[in-house]
Amino acid sequence: MPSLVVSLPGKPQATYPINRPCTRIGRSIGNDIVLASPTVSSAHAILMLSGTRLAIEDLGSSNGTFVGRARIQRADLEDGSVVSIGDHTLKLVAERKAMAYEPTMLVRSTATARKAYLQRLDGARPGECIELTKVVSSIGKPGECMVTFIRRGDDFAVRFADGPAAPRLNGAVLGDAPVRLDAGDVLDTDFGRLQFLLQEPAVRLQWPGGDRSQPAEPAAHAPGPMAWLRRAMSRAPASLIASAATNS
């Protein structure tokens, strides 16, 4: 089932599963998701789930409901959609299927393969990037908190490997079954917050008649009427050229 990750600056994130046809959002206690802020209306918005389709509708709120940067009356949501209601940010996380993998499988590296990184969001070295170059990469300490990242071609997954407390992926508890990663996913662990990033391969444009990614060789000059003189001067001894220049 999809879930909604609700965040407010300076406050812990909260995750709400979306498992009913209608989920009401507002400031009043009677709502399914209560956002206690004066910037949120008593009955602000409603989520409507129909099969696998999820939509949000504004209920005539004072400050509006935004999907991305656009104020909406009603809009369909998809995995990764970001909704702003007052001071709160709500991110939709769709249910993700576990990704089967074989730890000993061979992944062939190519020049066009995407590169994957983990960027530290806090701690002593915020902004530092860790490149995931192996088929299976483990990060953390056994017995404390350790997670494993798995690569299968251009797809990546993460699983909880060891430790007393499971980390959270986009606010949802991560289990020992591999979960497929998308660019921008955030992992909260005992050793800090990590964001998963993907770098797309450089694209070389193919043009009719050849690749224009490199500058073409300059065209040779057509021989002119003085070409015979230039050739003769290039073969003449330096002393003869100097003498001719003095006489002139």
Would you give the distance in Å from CA 193 to the centre of its chain?
A: 15
Concatenated DSSP letters of the chain: --EEEEE-TTS--EEEE--SSEEEEESSTTSSEE---TTS-TT-EEEEEETTEEEEEE-S-SS-EEETTEEESEEEE-TT-EEEETTEEEEEE---PBPP--TT------TTPPEEEEEE-SSSSTT-EEE--SSEEEEEETTTEEEEEEEETTEEEEEEEE-SS--EETTEEP-SS-EE--TT-EEEETTEEEEEEEEPPP-PPEETTEE-SSPPPPPPPPP-TTHHHHHHHHHS-HHHHHHHHHH-
| % of the chain residues with pLDDT over 90 | 21
Residue 5 has pLDDT above 60, yes or no: yes
Residue 38 has pLDDT above 50, yes or no: yes
For residue 238 the two structure tokens come to 């330096």
| % of the chain residues with pLDDT over 70 | 71
Residue 60 has pLDDT above 60, yes or no: yes
Residue 171 has pLDDT above 50, yes or no: yes
CA 164 to CA 158: how far, in whole Å?
A: 17
Mean of pLDDT values over 75-91: 90
Residue 151, CA atoms < 13 Å, CB-side half-sphere:
21
CA 88 to CA 52: how far, in whole Å?
A: 25
Residue 105 has pLDDT above 50, yes or no: no
The reported pLDDT for the residue numbered 44 is 96
Residue 68 has pLDDT above 80, yes or no: yes
Residue type, 166: A
Which pairs count as long-range contacts for 166-175, CB under 8 Å and 24+ apart, including other chains? 168/13, 170/5, 170/91, 170/93, 171/3, 171/5, 171/7, 171/13, 171/14, 171/15, 171/91, 171/93, 172/3, 172/5, 172/15, 172/93, 174/147
Mean of pLDDT values over 35-52: 91
Q: Which residue has the tokens 């990469």?
A: 137
The reported pLDDT for the residue numbered 231 is 60
Residue 108 has pLDDT above 80, yes or no: no
Q: How far apart are the first and last CA of the chain?
A: 94
User: Where residue 238 falls among pLDDT bands split at 50, 70, 90?
Assistant: low
User: Where residue 223 falls among pLDDT bands split at 50, 70, 90?
Assistant: low
Residue 203 has pLDDT above 80, yes or no: no
170 vs 96, residue with greater confidence: 170
Mean pLDDT of the chain: 76
User: Where residue 220 falls among pLDDT bands split at 50, 70, 90?
Assistant: very low
Mean of pLDDT values over 107-117: 62
Mean of pLDDT values over 145-164: 86
